[in-house]
Amino acid sequence: MALAPTKVLVAMSGGVDSSVAAGLLRRAGHEVVGCFMRLGAPGETLEEETGAGPTRIGHRGCCSVGDAADARLVAAELNIPFYVLNFRRDFARVMDYFADQYAAGRTPNPCVRCNDWLKFGVLRRYARRIGATHIASGHYARMIPTRRADGSPGHGSLWRGVDRGKDQSYVLFGVPRRHLARMVLPIGGMEKPRVRELAARLGLPVCDKPDSQEICFVPGADYAPVIEQRHPELARAGGGEILDAAGRVLGRHRGHHHYTIGQRRGVGLALGYPIYVVGKDPARNTLTVGAQADLLAGLCHVGEANWLVGPGRTRGEFRCLAQYRAHGDAVPALAWRTGQAAGPTPSGRLGSFCVRFESPQPAVAPGQAIVLYDPDRPARVLGGGWVTEATRPGGPLPGPRAG
């Protein structure tokens, strides 16, 4: 590992990936401190909070008490200090964002926000308090060192993980560029079977633990109760009308927050041919359905831009590969900056840009994160942002397209 021995804070979830990350750093001679972020899963009770910021608490879990216990067992096996940190108050911001976005008819990605705001945000401040110079995680992505023109170390660059099927660079795009050099991703150059093999060799008790597949605060992948808890007006409003593109009423739905753009199954309407949710109107509590072709977008407007490369690489109109789903493909596109987004944004970033897809893409929805990769080095992340609007193929172009 290129990093000289230093003190590293490792975000340990109790899973095999972060456990191996901690083990590799320990084996490389770093002073490793493990921490488990207790976020406040539904149905669990936290100890009383005693002040601002994270505080040490007992055996608690992120999604379950068992996860914290697993992380503690791993830390004991590695002989490293271990803390469980109460991030419930901070994580409430992520849950509020998730519910607010759905209530507004958008499609959120809470995992990106959690990495941006907590794992490499609030946790970074905690690392400074204990004298740790770097933060590590078990994400499948790579940090590649860079050099400035004078030979001094640069910010570093974010690249896809070697295991393309597990790659998580998409959910890390929001980390500010100035923080990249302090981020360590020990398993990004490995494939999953190798990680499990290392876990067994290190004697870690989680070597066979299954991967988590759900959003940590959404039990059973049922979003609606979480949203309605923060927006009870949605439950009171109940169902609404399902419309076609011409505004004709075709049926009724359970409430617009139960559906996402591009959804096909579970709409509760049979017309004899495949139909998809192609639009949502929260103000009227209506869904619009249509054919698959009605989902296609030729261009999207993007706000809250976060660039991980210098401005020279994104000057004027530039080629890129654009990915707008965490497990989707990156497709050829052109992008250009458009200035500043209007109004307040969740992250405080105001930069904006546009993406024109080489071929129209389905189900590009407001609220989604879109991440741009370098077509000449397809694993390198250029930056990304959050879709504010998607337009049909042949729609009007925003400006400016230069500089």
The active-site residue, picked from 111, 114, 300, 354, is: 114
Burial zone of 125 (CB within 10 Å; 0-12 exposed, 13-18 middle, 19+ buried): exposed
Nearest 5 degrees, angle CA 140-CA 145-CA 150? Answer: 165
DSSP 258-320: G--TT--TT-----SS--EEEEEETTTTEEEEE-GGGGEEEEEEEEEEEESS-GGGGSSEEEE
> Per-residue b/e over 260-282, b at no fewer than 16 CB within 10 Å?
bbbbeeebeeeeeeebbbbbbeb
Q: Which of 115, 97, 101, 93 is nearest to 173 (CA)?
A: 115
Quick check: is 114 catalytic?
yes
CB 63 within 8 A of CB 212: yes
Q: Is residue 43 left, alpha or beta, with left meaning phi > 0 and alpha meaning psi from -120 to 50?
A: left
User: What is the spatial distance between Cα 225 and Cα 357, in angstroms, rounded to a whole number?
Assistant: 35
Structure tokens at 92: 């409430």
CB 386 within 8 A of CB 304: yes
* 129 CB-near residues (< 8 Å, 6+ apart): none
In the sheet with 82-86, reading across from the earlier edge strand, the strands are 82-86, 31-38, 7-11, 134-136, 183-184
User: What is the spatial distance between Cα 385 and Cα 356, in angstroms, rounded to a whole number?
Assistant: 14
CB 344 within 8 A of CB 327: no
The active-site residue, picked from 35, 216, 300, 354, is: 216
CB 388 within 8 A of CB 398: no
Angle (deg, nearest 10), helices 88-103 and 223-230:
100
Quick check: is 216 catalytic?
yes
* 90 CB-near residues (< 8 Å, 6+ apart): 54, 117, 118, 122
- Catalytic residue numbers read 114, 216
